[in-house]
A and B are shown apart, each in its own frame.
Chain A
Amino acid sequence: MSTPLSATFRAILMRDIRLAWSQGGTGTMALSFFMIAVTLFAFGVGPEPQVLARIAAGVIWVVALLACLLSLDRLYQADYEDGSLDDLALSPLGLTGVAAAKILAHWLATVVPLILIAPLLGMFMNLAPEGYGILLLSLLVGTPALSLIGSIGAALTVSVRRGGVLMALLVLPLYIPTLIFGVGAVDAAMGMVGSSANLALLGAVTLVALAIGPFASAAALRLALE
């Protein structure tokens, strides 16, 4: 059963995922950035295993967050510049649906690979064995909020020339709760305390972001298209 609505949604979704993994797409770049930036921390902090283990979860979360932010920079820009965003705005899906599709595509194509490679980076950072499961779980629960909130920033700055820094300034403060709860969950699990409270709060942040993200992005895009 495929209504035209979900067909449009799926079309945008598939196209964005394909674009992310085509030559020079953001998917590979974000992944490479993620790996390089985490290793930079090892060089910066030093190779002592205990120190690295202590900061592993935080470093991986922060760098995942930055990789997400950097890859969101051009979420709407290409479509805005070549005018296809105007066409999409007129589609039955509406801009809210378009934004939702593009956000989902970003998460699936760019963020999920980051999550999948996180255990490898955990190994580099000497993460304690009991940290891996909860690290993956917290990333899985928390990173959708990063895509959702970042989409608002990308939409707000879509018509701004060189809007990347401005976007980071707008979005990073809104990322803080996600980061706190995400790392909190891993730390709690490694301290043998229950991490369910942190995970629940992390999920709550994601739900709030889900309730706000697509609509605020659509409002910002409408503004840019005027």
Chain B
Amino acid sequence: MANFFHMGGYAVFVWSAYGISTVALVWLAVSSLRASRTTRKRVEALRARRRKEG
């Protein structure tokens, strides 16, 4: 297990490459999904208001 984390001496490089990639990709996915949901809700709210106003 320690060997695994040690990465033959390249631990800093390997793990920061994987770490940075994970953070960036997760952040992009989560922010996209979140923004997509909030805009959809705003569209629906606007529509509902229109309907009520006639």
User: Are A and B close enough to touch in the complex, i.e. CB under 8 Å?
Assistant: no
Which B residues fall within an 8 A CB radius of A?
none
Q: What is A's interface to B at a CB cutoff of 8 Å?
A: none
